[in-house]
Chain A
């Protein structure tokens, strides 16, 4: 094989492993080597349990190849529970927390033969769009190490882009899979709410969170979704909807597909280079046989405001349990009262953005403010959902930019939360509506930064958006471009 093993896509590797051309141990060593040579610069990974990874590879080597991901190392965002592995949501407050159980998605990956490779960096509790709020330090963009990888699944996107993971899982509450995928030039898929079990995903906003794949190409995204999707009796919000064989359905083409282009996405604040790339992509889709027409999502402008009320409200509730009593960080100053223990623990354990969101969420749920904020936001959420319902009566898919700009520089938006929040302007309404969305590479800026195209479909129509994304990917070469990551020898 001319390419190094770590450069293979997950499905290529899976085929090679199944045919016995590659042994699980070789795949593991290749990716571990790549991890070691890139992680000092990129810091995509928070931790890799190399010993456990090798042991698992050895165990698999003694078996006949079985499962869709037999022997394929897959890396996991740090908010998805892996039994006995420290899982911290990139927060100090969960320091030392080792879940006694696997998330359902981890069980499903392992059941298909995957090797859980390591834990990936993220914004603390997935609060952010740049991975700068991690308590463990930033992750750098493989295309330009002076820039953020996007977020919150920045570690997942950077690792896949830098080939230090064959594929990764992330989570998406307002764009946290799609936006970093766009900024790192990889494929990121946020499934329909309820498509993938959330059991074992440490909750940010329970009504918006979904786990999904970050992958080197659309085929890999389809492959991973096939493995992790499906009903889970442990998650009441997971849907009893059959999981189609997504990979088999990729090649149906775009002939006759009706694609809507929401006008509201092409307004002020959209970077001209991103606009141009997306418009070019739409031309390609047309050439492939899709009927592209403008449409409207009239309530789109309220999405960010609505989201920051609902998501922070749920976050303030979900993060209340981090109180120093059972696990994680605790300030046990002697002779302090219980209240002081809570206050010190949470003051020390949470970073600035987590505190900001807890305060916002607490405020909007407070007596006297609930109706003005939370209850009203719920109503607007319904309107946003109805916008999409109407659009999908006419269209099979919608196409938008994934993010308004390519990756920005470290610190650029850190002191201005509002501009950071606008980074998710095209992705947020998708979570509010609960529909699936995918980001695929659709070009590069003049300075060589990747740009992403977002494709959306009606609930449980992942098949449709994968089909559109695949046809586009096959017609273009963006996904074949690789970043030049300066390799370094790890300090130890």
Chain B
């Protein structure tokens, strides 16, 4: 019997505003506990919320990029539950009238484009954080995060596999980064995801019982948890069991999901309109203004680079896989009109640089002018590729222009015949056996000698010139004996 999987995702994104959603406190990560609080975000008696216009506009910006409809009338609701990190014992959220609804996000699935519908995206406030590090059994509360604006993006159950869910999240994060609305850092919790999965027999009309999975701390965890949950449910159905509609927690260490204690689940949030915030209409002008401010999104940027710069689909995909990378690419190409060379260098060298150091591309500072100069130096033959690699690293870390690094360190490529001649002579003298092997027709031995020459010049020798001159020297010596 075959089974179909249905997945929907709820993503919470912290919006990167300067201040919190309903007060003037700073919204940033890493301050001392409770340093960024005021009577409003502490929910002190008598305090009142006032909507941060910037948070609202970032939410609209995101909703528009996700092709959502913006609702006519913006209003907020209170969602009630008791927990020490929720200072008012209700969260300001949006219930029956979300800020936006009925959008979509296209994702690549097996060479095709799949349209995933967005059910709704709404604005709400984050809660504080409990700290259990006191050691005496007491818990402490840090309210720095309380009141930080969150956008909750809820997909329709349009995803058919854990891999599709992973792709959806990757694309969504990419768009959010292009929009510059969030740092999208799951480790810091600026992006969070809950997943809903159900399984049914192929061809069945009704969806299976929905299981919600929480505590997913990375996209890979989302995929692993969904895979686990899919298998668990299929196995249960195969053995004739029923799937309970429940919330389960992902245990990353044990790589399995387990039921959340029923107590952890609040059943009735007693939503009602937040009377402290006055409903308002969004003017078409505001929507128009926000729409005009939308950046080019990855999909269309990729298409443009393929068309205008003749990049391959593969290269264009990689170059646009981060807004930062794509911006760097375009700024460099503007200075050095060799798109393919720029793309190659970014893909091979910059991605490798970041990967080796486990850095996000966003964390690597590269000046377009420096990169353009480096590529010009390579193309002019002024430095060798191996030297260029080192100059690239130094240029990133010191922010010194590559030309200056090359001059100061004397890294210019040695193409001068006279200079190379002495080095080649030394190498031939020191490697008599290898020279003999070359003469016996062993090609790898010739490469070894080139390598020795490069080593002797710390990579500065022009490899092509070395090869030519070495071949000459060897034939001269043969001829001469």
Q: A residues within 8 Å of B by Cβ? A: 79-81, 87, 89, 94, 97, 99-101, 103, 198-203, 205-207, 233-237, 313-314, 316-317, 320-323, 325-327, 338-339, 342, 362, 365-367, 370, 374
In the complex, the chain B residue whose C-beta lies closest to that of A367 is: B268
* B410 CB within 8 Å of chain A: no
How many Å lie between the Cα of A338 and that of B85 in the bound state?
Answer: 12
How many Å lie between the Cα of A367 and that of B270 in the bound state?
Answer: 7
Q: Which of A87, A235, A339, A366 contacts B48 (CB 8 A)?
A: A235
User: Binary interface profile of B, 221-256, with partner A (CB < 8 Å = 1, else 0)?
Assistant: 000000000000000000000000000000000000
User: Given A234-B50, A236-B276, A237-B276, do A321 and B45 touch, yes or no (CB 8 Å)?
Assistant: yes
How many Å lie between the Cα of A53 and that of B45 in the bound state?
Answer: 24
How many Å lie between the Cα of A354 and that of B44 in the bound state?
Answer: 19
A117 to chain B, nearest CB (A): 19
Asked whether, in the complex, the Cβ of A317 is within 8 Å of the Cβ of B46, the reply is no
Asked whether, in the complex, the Cβ of A236 is within 8 Å of the Cβ of B50, the reply is yes
Asked whether, in the complex, the Cβ of A200 is within 8 Å of the Cβ of B84, the reply is no
The interface centre, meaning the residue of B39, B80, B272, B278 with most chain A CB atoms within 10 A of its CB, is B272
Asked whether, in the complex, the Cβ of A323 is within 8 Å of the Cβ of B89, the reply is yes
* B51 CB within 8 Å of chain A: yes
A279 to chain B, nearest CB (A): 38
Q: Which chain B residues lie closer than 8 Å to A234 at the CB level?
A: 48, 50
User: Given A99-B39, A314-B275, A321-B87, do A233 and B50 touch, yes or no (CB 8 Å)?
Assistant: yes
User: Given A100-B39, A323-B89, do A365 and B45 touch, yes or no (CB 8 Å)?
Assistant: no
How many Å lie between the Cα of A325 and that of B140 in the bound state?
Answer: 10
How many Å lie between the Cα of A342 and that of B270 in the bound state?
Answer: 18
Q: Which chain A residues lie closer than 8 Å to B276 at the CB level?
A: 203, 206, 235-237
A379 to chain B, nearest CB (A): 13
Q: Which chain B residues lie closer than 8 Å to A326 at the CB level?
A: 42-44, 87, 141
How many Å lie between the Cα of A297 and that of B88 in the bound state?
Answer: 38
A230 to chain B, nearest CB (A): 16
Asked whether, in the complex, the Cβ of B45 is within 8 Å of the Cβ of A199, the reply is no
How many Å lie between the Cα of A199 and that of B50 in the bound state?
Answer: 11
How many Å lie between the Cα of A342 and that of B275 in the bound state?
Answer: 25
Q: Which chain A residues lie closer than 8 Å to B87 at the CB level?
A: 321, 325-326
The interface centre, meaning the residue of A81, A203, A325, A366 with most chain B CB atoms within 10 A of its CB, is A325
Q: Which of A97, A200, A317, A325 contacts B90 (CB 8 A)?
A: A317
Asked whether, in the complex, the Cβ of A362 is within 8 Å of the Cβ of B270, the reply is yes
In the complex, the chain A residue whose C-beta lies closest to that of B24 is: A234
Q: Is chain B's interface secondary structure helix, strand, loop, or mixed overall?
A: loop
List the 3 closest A-B pairs by CB distance, nearest first. Answer: A320-B89, A206-B275, A207-B275
Q: Which chain A residues lie closer than 8 Å to B78 at the CB level?
A: 317
Return 28 A-B CB contacts under 8 Å, by A number: A81-B45, A94-B45, A99-B45, A100-B39, A101-B44, A101-B46, A103-B46, A200-B46, A201-B46, A202-B45, A203-B45, A235-B48, A235-B276, A236-B48, A236-B50, A314-B275, A317-B78, A320-B90, A321-B43, A322-B45, A325-B87, A326-B43, A365-B270, A365-B271, A366-B268, A366-B270, A370-B272, A374-B272
Asked whether, in the complex, the Cβ of B48 is within 8 Å of the Cβ of A100, the reply is no
Asked whether, in the complex, the Cβ of B272 is within 8 Å of the Cβ of A313, the reply is yes
* B448 CB within 8 Å of chain A: no
Asked whether, in the complex, the Cβ of A317 is within 8 Å of the Cβ of B270, the reply is yes
In the complex, the chain B residue whose C-beta lies closest to that of A314 is: B275
In the complex, the chain A residue whose C-beta lies closest to that of B270 is: A365
Q: B residues within 8 Å of A by Cβ? A: 39, 42-51, 78, 80, 82, 84, 87-90, 141, 263, 267-268, 270-272, 275-278
How many Å lie between the Cα of A101 and that of B44 in the bound state?
Answer: 10
Q: Which of A103, A200, A320 contacts B82 (CB 8 A)?
A: A320
In the complex, the chain B residue whose C-beta lies closest to that of A206 is: B275
How many Å lie between the Cα of A236 and that of B275 in the bound state?
Answer: 10
How many Å lie between the Cα of A87 and that of B141 in the bound state?
Answer: 24
How many A-B contacts are there with CB distance less than 8 Å? 102
How many Å lie between the Cα of A323 and that of B82 in the bound state?
Answer: 8
Q: Which chain A residues lie closer than 8 Å to B80 at the CB level?
A: 317, 320, 365
Asked whether, in the complex, the Cβ of A321 is within 8 Å of the Cβ of B88, the reply is yes
Q: Which chain B residues lie closer than 8 Å to A317 at the CB level?
A: 78, 80, 90, 270, 272
Asked whether, in the complex, the Cβ of B272 is within 8 Å of the Cβ of A236, the reply is no
In the complex, the chain B residue whose C-beta lies closest to that of A319 is: B89
Q: Which chain B residues lie closer than 8 Å to A314 at the CB level?
A: 272, 275
Asked whether, in the complex, the Cβ of B44 is within 8 Å of the Cβ of A99, the reply is yes
User: Given A237-B278, A321-B89, A323-B89, do A199 and B268 touch, yes or no (CB 8 Å)?
Assistant: no
How many Å lie between the Cα of A461 and that of B220 in the bound state?
Answer: 62
Asked whether, in the complex, the Cβ of B275 is within 8 Å of the Cβ of A101, the reply is no
Asked whether, in the complex, the Cβ of B45 is within 8 Å of the Cβ of A325, the reply is no
In the complex, the chain B residue whose C-beta lies closest to that of A363 is: B270
User: Given A237-B276, A317-B272, A320-B90, do A100 and B82 touch, yes or no (CB 8 Å)?
Assistant: no
Q: Which chain A residues lie closer than 8 Å to B84 at the CB level?
A: 323, 325, 338
User: Given A237-B276, A237-B278, do A320 and B51 touch, yes or no (CB 8 Å)?
Assistant: no
Asked whether, in the complex, the Cβ of A236 is within 8 Å of the Cβ of B277, the reply is yes
How many Å lie between the Cα of A313 and that of B84 in the bound state?
Answer: 22
In the complex, the chain A residue whose C-beta lies closest to that of B42 is: A326
Q: Which chain A residues lie closer than 8 Å to B267 at the CB level?
A: 367
Q: Which chain A residues lie closer than 8 Å to B277 at the CB level?
A: 236
B79 to chain A, nearest CB (A): 10
Q: Which chain B residues lie closer than 8 Å to A200 at the CB level?
A: 46-47
Q: Which chain A residues lie closer than 8 Å to B90 at the CB level?
A: 317, 320-321
The interface centre, meaning the residue of B44, B141, B263, B275 with most chain A CB atoms within 10 A of its CB, is B275
User: Given A206-B276, A236-B277, A365-B272, do A199 and B89 touch, yes or no (CB 8 Å)?
Assistant: no
How many Å lie between the Cα of A365 and that of B44 in the bound state?
Answer: 23
In the complex, the chain B residue whose C-beta lies closest to that of A337 is: B263
Given A206-B276, A237-B48, A237-B278; 16 other pairs, CB 8 A cutoff = A81-B46, A99-B39, A99-B46, A101-B47, A202-B45, A234-B48, A234-B50, A235-B276, A237-B276, A325-B84, A326-B44, A326-B87, A338-B84, A366-B268, A367-B267, A374-B272
B38 to chain A, nearest CB (A): 9
Q: Which of B89, B271, B278 contacts A236 (CB 8 A)?
A: B278
How many Å lie between the Cα of A367 and that of B80 in the bound state?
Answer: 12
In the complex, the chain B residue whose C-beta lies closest to that of A201 is: B46
Q: Which of A202, A236, A313, A367 contacts B46 (CB 8 A)?
A: A202
A62 to chain B, nearest CB (A): 31
B91 to chain A, nearest CB (A): 11
Q: Which chain A residues lie closer than 8 Å to B48 at the CB level?
A: 198-199, 234-237
In the complex, the chain A residue whose C-beta lies closest to that of B88 is: A321
B13 to chain A, nearest CB (A): 24
In the complex, the chain A residue whose C-beta lies closest to that of B44 is: A99
In the complex, the chain A residue whose C-beta lies closest to that of B139 is: A338
